Structure 1
Amino acid sequence: MSASNQSRDLFRGFMQKVGVDFADEVPRTSDIESMKFSPSDQAQHLQLQSIQSRFEDYNDSPCNLAQLKFISPSNDSSTHTTTSVVGLSVPSSDNDLLRSLDPVSITTKQVLYRLYGYQELISALDNVQCIHPELVDCRTNLFSAIELQVYRLLLAIRNEKLDHEEMGTHFDGARRVNFVSPQSAKQIPALAKAIVILISIIHCMMNVAREHCGFILKCIRSVLQIFRSQDSHSRLTDALINAVPTTLPTALQYLALQDHLDIYVACPKCHSIFKDLGATDLPTCPTVNLDGTLCDAELYIQRHRGSRTWSTPVRCFSHQPLESWLARLLNRPGVEDLLEAARPLLQEHCTDVWGASFLSNFPSDGQPSFFEAPVGELRLAFLVYHDFFNPYGNQIAGKKRSIGVVMMACLNLPPDVRYDIENIYFAAMIPGPKEPTLETINNYLKPIVDNLEEHYKSGVYINSTFKYPKGRKVRSVAPIQSMDIIASRAFGGLSGPSHTKFCSFCDAVLSRIDIFDLTQFNTRSMEQHRLHVQEWLSAQSLKERNAVWKEHGVRYSEFLRFEWWNALTGTTIAPMHWGKNVIEKQVRENMGCSVTAPTGIPSSRPLSRPISELELEWGKLALAHSSADELSKSKLPEPLVRFLCMQRGIFEAGLNVSRLLNDLNEWRKNNHILASDGSPTSPDRNGAVQLAKTHYYLSKARKSASVLKSNSTVESLQQLCLKLKIPLTKKEKKPELEQLLLDATKNVSIPNVRESENVGQNVAVLGHDVVEQVKLDMKETQFPSFLKRPPINFATVDHGKIGAEEYKSLAMVSLPITLIRLWGCLGANPAYRERLDHFLHLSVAIRILAYQTIMAHDINLFEYHYTQYLLGLKTLYPFSSIVPVQHLGLHIPYFLHALGPSSRYSENTPEMIIGILEDISTNHKIGELEQTLHREMIMAANLRSLMRNTPLPMELDQFRNVVEKFLGNRYPTSVTASRWQTSHSGGAVVLDADTYAALAGWCQHNHKKLFGRNLYLCSQIRLGNLIYQPYHIASANGYIGFRQQDSSVIRGRIETIFQEPSANPPRIAIVVRAFKSLSAEDARLDPYLHHPIVGKPRFGFVKLYYNAVEDDQAHIIEPADILSHLVVTNYHDSTGGITASCIVVMDLDLKHAVHN
């Protein structure tokens, strides 16, 4: 036996007897001075250093044993693959232990990665022959340390298995989920901890690649070593410097930011997914489609690096089990109290989904509420969001690449923290490069729904939470989905907006899309939907399935496994996408927003081609003499049908010919051309209609003689010859008649109807002069910080895509301010005034959707104003088509009743997160980047949570403040709205006598405790994402509307904000000066005040004030008196009738306060 083997055996025996840990006492080879060695010893020294460095990397590699999964002994080995331990030198009993691990678990792969790595190091040490005594000792100790780590790891696995067996896999009918605190057990100095946090932010949030982060870490350590060598008094020691990791994986492991993911191999052709069993066991896709065709696509691809070759999946699908996310969430302090506080309770002034009807009646009427749970059990509700995006951004590869993300928000969390990034559950990442087609999305939904089904039916038992150290049962449900229309229809198994049955709520079809009375349609039912789905499932071929899809627009969705799920109403009309699409349609297409076209009212639009006089003659005769049935079957050309409709004021934009012919028949009945039974009052007794048709197609036959043959009869040809005075012998057959007519008319020119040659008028409702006025007002408008300012060049393509929030500001603020000024004053053109009022109906509807609190009255107002907007479309913009998204708005009131304010389930934050995903640095390789994005996003969320919820050493307070400021600027709202927060610089100031007297008088009048005389001057106060500041610091945040006790609303500007230093929570007093109201004479010229929709007669949220404040009176208020921010801009009086300079003041009260 060699000396090395003997020393290892002696060490193993001693270790097993006493269990003493010598690993931390191993001398580091880097601590030994290499200069004293001979050249051969120096080579061995470098080898030992390399082995030790690799050993430390293996020790720091991710491996959370709490997430180990074991195969039950009862499982039949013939149906369950065991973990392969080929080539691993461990005792047979340990081999059996390792074979009991779940082979597809990520944690199993992490364990094997370490064990194989340790074995590789032992083999490497066997090949290092040391002579120098110090090197011999180092080599021996490295052997011992590596074997100790192997022993530790195997012992920990065995203990985990014993714990699983002792506790059992289930408790109270729920599967146990073991959880060990994610905080790293390895304590590191404060300096190293700060560097680890910094490099994690650089990687996870600044999207710096892994290898570059490793370079940064090495540089930091080198700089620290230089500093220590140059400063003899430095407190830096080797231990402090060596605690700084030199690789990114080690740094991430210190913070334990990575969560468990289930990884599946995804077929690049048919999107089937499989557990990753390796290229040997499943090299190609075994899926067979309904027609019996084998997919057989390659699932793995070979990679090469030097002499090494391995197989990797072509595509991967990653899914984070809900319990993995939940276990971490429930171990945060205070979170469980927030989750438990959410319970269904119907509210008249509804502020959240919990105050509306849907969750109150869940799962359905007559059944016990899902949210009535036994003591200690937690019931959670989730909102699901799903969409596809270009991982390269739209600048690279355009729309050619697309990957999907599925994320969920826990509705039990309060709205102000619900969408913080650390509270978002990133469920899955769907591989690209293209979106899965139709039903193949179900392959990716299945693992997600499998997981949700367990959480709903039996729940899971988290073995330890912050509030319940001995564990608690959790059941969860995901009954609400909010996503854009394309994604939602794919998720729900419903047809999209281009299908004939475009609406998921009613039986409206595209040919009747311009009907805005919902009583004309039937509500779709889930009973009928499930019958159609069953018909789709029962189809024997792809052709049969496609026929069902074409007729009914339905297919199977994995979510149908939940008996409570409603495919028709379970997915909201996503408010953000809906608002953006409707506003964009109105502003850009209907109103023609342009920086080049002059302002005007278009009177017509161009046809696809001009109409000839012969064609029009045929159309007129068909209208005059055909029966209803004959006209429907007449095959009049589409341009002719549209022209006939335009001439008669029949709306035709976007409607198909069949619908237009029906509308023409209705017009003929109303004008007594048709009798009630559809027969013509003036029948075609002489074949005039057929004659006109033949004449028209004769004119077309010059290019193709066959059209005359298929659209004429012998009689009509003979009549046409007589009409054109072509001699006949009465013996000619049809081909001869055709040729006679062709020869006689070959040089005849047929003129077009002049009106049909109109190429369209180059005018727009929002022409360039109006757009310039809008831009003028926008430049002078003060937008508070919470409201997204629309781009000044909104009317040009230079700006690129305009975001949903920018469109909302444009519709709610900028356009109303300018258009009322231009078109709402006395003497304005009635045509423009009519279009102004029409637009304001839409603007008000968009405003109501932004409410944070909503009542039944508000929903009725939304329904009224949006319906008025729709009804005006066909008369004011007859040449613009009606699109599905406009129809869907009619169903929004259902969701406002069922789910409360749309701001509580909007897609704003998920869309912002997709923007973050697009910025993450990857290798740009489809098939690999998806998993990278998933892991990095989870780590970023966990890092954000760690910084907010984990205590750091006091010496890191300044570092923490810097990091918190950076994180607060990058991610969604993270400021709780439960209390006011203040900011001030410097110490307290002593108030002058007059100011303090006024403040004291206010306290006495309102029976308040007196303020001290020494007060802070605050630069801002904040509640959630609402910031208020003195106007001289930030005027946009300094304009407010407020109400004291029973007074009317007062609008003005903040002069000063005082805070009492000693009070907690802070006592705050705000000094405000009111804007000067207009005189009665000037007020008569206020176009905003008197407007019947937005003015005092109805909503009253905008009016004029003089551009000055009341000098003789200041108001002292508390933060609770504030109603809202104001938008303020200068008023350009075109009439010159108002006696002084004015400002437009618009309330942004979205909390539903009633104004006077």
Structure 2
Amino acid sequence: MSSWNPSHDVRTAMKHLSIDPVIVRSVCCPKCFASYALDDIPEFCTWRVRRRCRPCGEPLTATRSTRSQGPITVPRRLYSVQSFRSWLEWFLSRPDIEDLLEQSWAHQPSDDSMRSTWDSPAWRSLGNFSTTRGNLMFSLFYDSFNPLHNKIAGKVVSCGVLTLRCMNLPFDVSRRPENTFFIALTPLPYGPNVVTITALLDPIMDQVLPFWIAQLIQTYKFPLGRSIRAGIVPVIADILASKKALGYGSHACEQFCSYCLCTLDQLERLDLENWTIRTSDAVRAAAENWTAAQTVKKREELFKSSGVRGSALHRLHYRDHVRHTIIGVMHNWMEGILQHHCRVKWGLGSKALPGSGDDGASDSEEPTLATRSDPMDVDRQTHSASSDEGDVDTTPNTAWHPKGRRIPVAPTFDAADLQFIRARLARIVAPTWFERPPANLGVKSHGKLKAIAWMNLFAYCLPLILVELWGQRAESRARDSELLANFEQLVAATDIVCSYSTSNAAADAYTEHYIAYRRSLRELWPDSDSVPNHHYAMHNGDQLKFWGPLMLLSELPFESDIGILQDISTNFHYEDMDYTMLRQISRKARLTAEIETNPDFNRTDSSGASLASILLDERSTTTSHLHASATTSKKAARSPQKELTAVHYTTILEYLQTRGEHFRHCEEAGLTHTDPVLPPTGQSLSSLRQYGRNFNTRRTHEGNSLVVVRRPLGTQLRGFIEDVCCIDFDGGKRTFLILEPLEPVPDSLNPYLHFKGLACGVAYDRSMAARIVVEPSQLISHLVALRCPGGTFGIPEATIITRSLNQGRVPE
């Protein structure tokens, strides 16, 4: 790396690093996506749907003018697929990967709870495959995106991304782009439909399927090669993309569900125990019959009766084509159930119907809560259209016209209610990493809401607000208590389905809460029908029992990859955009991995620039966070030693003594004692990093200082971090947090005791004289909070309502 100046010639530097992926390109029909070898290109596409059908006939080549060669004949479209073997060899050649993979092979599942996919029955559903060393289980993600960012007027462009992630890596490691295999991007400008997608999936299956039989692969620890097997098990996508890839019918089909045999006229069914669940064998048989049919009419008849088409993924014979399909919690729940409840049931962010009253918005600023349209919310779509580009279900007699209205006759919130909610949203105290919902909720100026913002709104912000609005009105309204009970069931179900840990008991509780929520929907909004998304969410309980925490299999990390792809610079030539994006994101991933393992990249020159910053052109967001907790000791090493205050010193000493650590006061140093002395000096820090989050002192950032901690005997304490002290002991440094604890209000004054599903705590908003000492390992999470003036809930003093942001990440 010292033979050239990378700041002058970045391309040469990248070439010397040998990080270019092996990408196999083939000619692709622009219409049906059939593939042809580059050395044998027919003039027209010869692909037929069936033997008796006419060939596609689409021209495969075009004439392009060049300066040097004049007119030349070139393929109109090329399909690029990255070599799975080549990527696997590179992946396993990295020095830390095999040690990380070993954790999954040696993992012992927990009996009572599931904190990882490795604890789930799904992980063991392939027998001893997941526990045999050398066997790798991958998840397949598929989704479509617009590489133009929707910024070019009139351009509707679709590109599909197909990625594989190794599930044998720990979750926080597997989700990074450098550990993601970007196997293919579908050709532009239009995506495949439900039939032609098979032509794009077949080359991927051709590469992956042979690895079900052991292959000899060179690895870092086994340079002569070791036996490696690999298989694709879960398919992760939004529901429509999943249906397209797996061959299921869209939400407009009579047999619309991928998991059971309920039909569209049974959307309101809640007797889950009586549903007939699909089986993998039946799905495979239906797909084989559909594929074998010789006429389009016969295929339509078979599809109408089963709701299943053939798919290239059915070639993976070891997959369970029902249970190994994931219901995406991001699209189904966050952007589905929660968004639907807000926009359709509550009517928030939509024009009020005539006579329904003022919605609190001016004529110049029409209220809206715009977001990516929910394809499962068929109330606002035509009966035959799918949101995935090119996916139009033309099967006869599959149309479904919803009977319910999109918006209730009267919006739930009037102008005063909206003003109340917005004022309190603006006052919420939260950590810096928390994705805040807009304070001007319901007004279009805030733009689209992200999936996380929908979850934060319902799970963390509105529970702090709606109890006061609906439960403590001066004038009693019977409907308010019903709305609050309905909301409580929704929040309780959200807590479980969006948690990073689960259990069979939690899954049963989810189903109970969700069914209660849907029952109350019928009573509150009898004229607003359920949509398919409501039905799909009924299966989340079984998914939690089978797969464990669904957040570990959500679409959220993959959506971040799509953002990276959209930021890649291209020349906007459709015939090359997919190849450019695939190559560039693969190169950056390999470069990032190289930087993490090679310290030479981070050495700076005289100008302060490092090779890593030059090659990445910015600070990479994909660098490792495995050693994030080390930042505290580094800060302490740079901070000057100073005398601890008498109060802090005494509090820390009492904490250590109550733990059975027999330290003595420094003033007793001259006496005869065998017990060690607690040093009177240490470093005072403004922050520390734990669990990948910054925890600050209250004087630095109040939102980052409000925490819940674990105390002896399983109790919890909530309060503000007053100070962070790092003290040198003979055995090394120890960090102590000095907390200002919050005093809970008496149960007789706590209104949230009647709404335990909201999981909120109410405390007096004042400092207590006593201070509590904890160590970083006792931290659970940050809190969100809302301050209330005296008189709220009939409590004379000012109070603060808090809710934990743990989300099941840390055992409580």
Same fold, judged at TM 0.5 (above): yes
SS in structure 1 of the partner of residue 207 of structure 2: helix
Matched residues in 2 for 1:551 and 1:861: separation? Answer: 34
Matched residues in 2 for 1:267 and 1:812: separation? Answer: 47
- The equivalent position to 1:1040 in structure 2, one of 681, 702, 707, is 707
The answer to whether structure 1 residue 1069 and structure 2 residue 736 are counterparts is yes
Deviation at 1:422, TM superposition (A): 0.7
SS in structure 2 of the partner of residue 474 of structure 1: strand
- The equivalent position to 2:787 in structure 1, one of 1130, 1134, 1156, is 1130
Matched residues in 2 for 1:386 and 1:475: separation? Answer: 22
Matched residues in 2 for 1:527 and 1:370: separation? Answer: 20
Matched residues in 1 for 2:706 and 2:579: separation? Answer: 47
Judge which range, 468-477 or 858-867, deviates more.
Answer: 468-477
Deviation at 1:1062, TM superposition (A): 7.2
Rg comparison, structure with higher value: 1
- The equivalent position to 1:356 in structure 2, one of 120, 123, 126, is 120
Matched residues in 1 for 2:128 and 2:626: separation? Answer: 30
Could you tell me whether the CA contact under 8 Å between 1:494 and 1:555 is conserved in 2? yes
Match of 1:176 in 2: none
Deviation at 1:302, TM superposition (A): 2.4
- The equivalent position to 2:130 in structure 1, one of 371, 374, 377, is 371
- AA aligned opposite 2:309: R
Could you tell me whether the CA contact under 8 Å between 1:1104 and 1:1142 is conserved in 2? yes
Matched residues in 2 for 1:298 and 1:965: separation? Answer: 41
- AA aligned opposite 1:388: S
- 1:686-725 equivalence runs, <5 A: none
Matched residues in 2 for 1:382 and 1:1047: separation? Answer: 38
Could you say if the C-alpha distance between residues 1000 and 915 of structure 1 is closer, same or farther in structure 2, counting changes exceeding 3 Å?
same
Could you say if the C-alpha distance between residues 519 and 932 of structure 1 is closer, same or farther in structure 2, counting changes exceeding 3 Å?
same
The answer to whether structure 1 residue 312 and structure 2 residue 74 are counterparts is yes
SS in structure 1 of the partner of residue 63 of structure 2: strand
Matched residues in 2 for 1:1073 and 1:908: separation? Answer: 35
Could you say if the C-alpha distance between residues 1022 and 426 of structure 1 is closer, same or farther in structure 2, counting changes exceeding 3 Å?
same
SS in structure 1 of the partner of residue 339 of structure 2: helix
- The percentage of counterpart residues that share the same residue type is 25
Deviation at 1:922, TM superposition (A): 0.9
Could you tell me whether the CA contact under 8 Å between 1:976 and 1:1024 is conserved in 2? no
Matched residues in 2 for 1:1149 and 1:759: separation? Answer: 35
Could you say if the C-alpha distance between residues 659 and 820 of structure 1 is closer, same or farther in structure 2, counting changes exceeding 3 Å?
closer
Match of 2:643 in 1: 990
Match of 2:61 in 1: 300
Could you tell me whether the CA contact under 8 Å between 2:30 and 2:76 is conserved in 1? yes
SS in structure 1 of the partner of residue 604 of structure 2: helix
Q: Tell me which of the two structures has the higher relative contact order, counting C-alpha pairs closer than 8 angstroms and 6 or more residues apart.
A: 2
SS in structure 2 of the partner of residue 479 of structure 1: strand
The answer to whether structure 1 residue 450 and structure 2 residue 180 are counterparts is no
Could you tell me whether the CA contact under 8 Å between 1:825 and 1:1085 is conserved in 2? no
- The equivalent position to 1:1086 in structure 2, one of 750, 761, 764, is 750
Deviation at 1:1093, TM superposition (A): 3.0
- AA aligned opposite 2:128: S
- AA aligned opposite 1:346: P
Deviation at 1:954, TM superposition (A): 7.5
Deviation at 1:882, TM superposition (A): 0.8
- The equivalent position to 2:217 in structure 1, one of 451, 462, 465, is 462
Could you say if the C-alpha distance between residues 978 and 657 of structure 1 is closer, same or farther in structure 2, counting changes exceeding 3 Å?
closer
| Count of paired positions | 747
Could you say if the C-alpha distance between residues 814 and 460 of structure 1 is closer, same or farther in structure 2, counting changes exceeding 3 Å?
same
- The equivalent position to 2:626 in structure 1, one of 976, 981, 997, is 976
The answer to whether structure 1 residue 508 and structure 2 residue 259 are counterparts is no
Matched residues in 1 for 2:513 and 2:323: separation? Answer: 23
Q: Hey, which of these two has a bigger chunk of strand by percent?
A: 2
- The equivalent position to 2:656 in structure 1, one of 988, 993, 1003, is 1003
Match of 2:31 in 1: 269
Matched residues in 2 for 1:581 and 1:470: separation? Answer: 50
Deviation at 1:289, TM superposition (A): 3.0
Could you say if the C-alpha distance between residues 1135 and 1042 of structure 1 is closer, same or farther in structure 2, counting changes exceeding 3 Å?
closer
Match of 2:381 in 1: none
Match of 1:383 in 2: 139
Could you say if the C-alpha distance between residues 435 and 1074 of structure 1 is closer, same or farther in structure 2, counting changes exceeding 3 Å?
same
Deviation at 1:433, TM superposition (A): 1.6
Matched residues in 1 for 2:274 and 2:657: separation? Answer: 63
Matched residues in 2 for 1:341 and 1:1153: separation? Answer: 19
Could you tell me whether the CA contact under 8 Å between 2:104 and 2:131 is conserved in 1? no
Deviation at 1:371, TM superposition (A): 3.0
- The equivalent position to 1:346 in structure 2, one of 98, 103, 109, is 109
Could you say if the C-alpha distance between residues 835 and 1134 of structure 1 is closer, same or farther in structure 2, counting changes exceeding 3 Å?
farther
SS in structure 1 of the partner of residue 578 of structure 2: helix
Could you say if the C-alpha distance between residues 1014 and 322 of structure 1 is closer, same or farther in structure 2, counting changes exceeding 3 Å?
farther
- 1:468-547 equivalence runs, <5 A: 468-547=222-301
Could you say if the C-alpha distance between residues 657 and 948 of structure 1 is closer, same or farther in structure 2, counting changes exceeding 3 Å?
closer
Deviation at 1:1119, TM superposition (A): 1.1
- The equivalent position to 2:170 in structure 1, one of 409, 414, 425, is 414
Matched residues in 2 for 1:969 and 1:869: separation? Answer: 45
Match of 2:669 in 1: none
Name stretches of at least 5 consecutive residues in structure 1 with no aligned partner: 1-186, 196-216, 218-244, 363-367, 603-653, 661-757, 1095-1100
Could you say if the C-alpha distance between residues 1055 and 337 of structure 1 is closer, same or farther in structure 2, counting changes exceeding 3 Å?
same
- AA aligned opposite 1:971: T
SS in structure 1 of the partner of residue 317 of structure 2: coil
- Superposition TM-score, scaled by structure 2 size: 0.86
The answer to whether structure 1 residue 252 and structure 2 residue 65 are counterparts is no
- The equivalent position to 1:809 in structure 2, one of 456, 463, 481, is 456
Matched residues in 1 for 2:428 and 2:515: separation? Answer: 30
- AA aligned opposite 1:1106: Y
- 1:95-244 equivalence runs, <5 A: 187-189=1-3, 192-193=5-6, 195=7, 217=8
Match of 2:537 in 1: 889
Match of 1:587 in 2: 342
SS in structure 1 of the partner of residue 5 of structure 2: helix
Deviation at 1:359, TM superposition (A): 1.4
Could you say if the C-alpha distance between residues 474 and 833 of structure 1 is closer, same or farther in structure 2, counting changes exceeding 3 Å?
same
Deviations 1:75-116 (A, max 9, x none): xxxxxxxxxxxxxxxxxxxxxxxxxxxxxxxxxxxxxxxxxx
SS in structure 2 of the partner of residue 772 of structure 1: helix
- AA aligned opposite 2:806: D
- AA aligned opposite 1:274: Y
Matched residues in 1 for 2:154 and 2:469: separation? Answer: 40
Matched residues in 2 for 1:760 and 1:480: separation? Answer: 36
- The equivalent position to 2:496 in structure 1, one of 825, 844, 848, is 848
- AA aligned opposite 1:1090: H
Matched residues in 1 for 2:82 and 2:785: separation? Answer: 47
Could you tell me whether the CA contact under 8 Å between 2:790 and 2:796 is conserved in 1? no
The answer to whether structure 1 residue 908 and structure 2 residue 518 are counterparts is no
Could you say if the C-alpha distance between residues 659 and 507 of structure 1 is closer, same or farther in structure 2, counting changes exceeding 3 Å?
farther
Matched residues in 1 for 2:233 and 2:644: separation? Answer: 56
Matched residues in 2 for 1:341 and 1:937: separation? Answer: 28
Deviation at 1:1047, TM superposition (A): 5.4
Could you say if the C-alpha distance between residues 816 and 474 of structure 1 is closer, same or farther in structure 2, counting changes exceeding 3 Å?
same
- 1:1090-1109 equivalence runs, <5 A: 1090-1094=754-758, 1101-1109=759-767
SS in structure 1 of the partner of residue 85 of structure 2: helix
Deviation at 1:772, TM superposition (A): 1.9
Matched residues in 1 for 2:406 and 2:642: separation? Answer: 72
Matched residues in 2 for 1:286 and 1:997: separation? Answer: 85
Deviation at 1:803, TM superposition (A): 0.8
Deviations 1:325-355 (A, max 9, x none): 2222222222101112103643222111110
Could you tell me whether the CA contact under 8 Å between 2:490 and 2:513 is conserved in 1? yes
Q: Hey, which of these two has a bigger chunk of helix by percent?
A: 1
Could you tell me whether the CA contact under 8 Å between 1:353 and 1:900 is conserved in 2? yes
SS in structure 2 of the partner of residue 438 of structure 1: coil
The answer to whether structure 1 residue 781 and structure 2 residue 428 are counterparts is yes
Match of 2:394 in 1: none
- AA aligned opposite 1:865: H
Could you say if the C-alpha distance between residues 935 and 842 of structure 1 is closer, same or farther in structure 2, counting changes exceeding 3 Å?
same
SS in structure 2 of the partner of residue 879 of structure 1: coil
